[in-house]
Amino acid sequence: MIIGTKMIKGLIFGILALLLAISLIAAACAPAAPTGEEADCSDVEADLAAEKANVKSLEDEVSDLEADIDALKEPAKVYRWEPSVWVSAGTPWDFLLYFSEYIEEMTDGRIVSTPSAVGAVAPAEELAEAVSAGTTQAMLPTPSYYAGKFPLAAIYNSSIGLPTWVHELNCYETFKNGRAFELYQQEMEKLYYLEVVGERIGPMNIVLGSNVPIPDLASLDGLKFRCGDEHIVAGLTAAGGSTVGAPGSEIYTMLATGVVDAFT
């Protein structure tokens, strides 16, 4: 088929005219921009939508607060401790009583600490091991029982050359910002997988009991003592006595059976 030039031009102009007509119709049918009251209504609707979103956010916050309040009303978990020291009387025991009262007050009763007698939960020489094994949650082990297990315990407990507990305090807590306690703490935690949270430093009243008269230092020569502290051992052996270590709960049996002549 052959189409002439004039016919092609006519078709092109016709198509353009048709497109122009369609565009004009579409423009005529498009919605007009809101004016006057219609514009005001649109603003109000937008504000209403924003307020609804704000109310929803506040409702979520209230719901979260109610959940928090309900959680606070639930009874707190109570931990029950039965800590022990190496004796059931004297200054270490008094400290344990004070510690138990203090910890209960500070935790508002969430930790109930009831001091236990020597050996009731674990032997005096195995208090750290009992915590490590999970048998109990807290104990007050005495370093003298660990002197044979790691050397630092003997140094830390013995205080040889420190004449008073004030000197001990300065040495263990003040000197180099408490480096001595830090070293002991690290060693205990490494060996027994537990956490050492504090130390007790204070005067120790040494009681010397004996089955034989000891009127003077010379009388110590040849006597056999039950003794658990290196700094006391040093003085007794220097005076000619001999010493043996044993749990405090065995002292009276050892005296009665003649295993030792005296004890500290």
**Is pLDDT above 60 for 42?**
yes
DSSP string, 111-137: EEE----TTTSS-GGGHHHHHHHTS-S
The secondary structure element, H or E, covering residue 224 is: strand 224-226
- Per-residue pLDDT band for 4 (boundaries 50, 70, 90) equals very low
- pLDDT for 3 equals 43
Residue 19 has pLDDT above 80, yes or no: no
Q: What is the dihedral of CA 125, 128, 132, 138, to 10 degrees?
A: 120
Report the phi/psi class of residue 227: left, alpha or beta, with left for phi > 0 and alpha for psi in -120 to 50: beta
**In the chain, where the domains are located:** 76-141, 142-205, 209-263
- Please report which helix (H) or strand (E) contains residue 244, including its range: strand 242-244
How far is it, in rounded angstroms, from Cα 134 to Cα 74? 27
Q: What is the pTM of this model?
A: 0.58
H/E stretch holding 209 reads: strand 209-210
> Over the stretch 62-115, which tens digit does the pLDDT of each residue have?
888 878 777 676 667 899 999 999 888 888 899 899 999 999 999 999 999 999
**Strand 224-226 relative to strand 209-210, pairing:** unpaired
Name the DSSP letter for residue 33. P
Average pLDDT, the chain: 81
Cβ contact 145:85 at 8 Å? no
- Give tens-digit pLDDT for 210-252: 999 999 989 999 999 998 777 788 788 989 999 998 877 788 8
Q: What is the DSSP string of 64-118?
A: HHHHHHHHHHSPPP-EEE----S-SSSHHHHHHHHHHHHHHHHTTTSEEE----T
Strand partners, 112: 80
Judged on CB neighbours under 10 Å (0-12, 13-18, 19+), 147 is buried
**Closest alpha carbon to 154 in 229, 233, 232:** 229
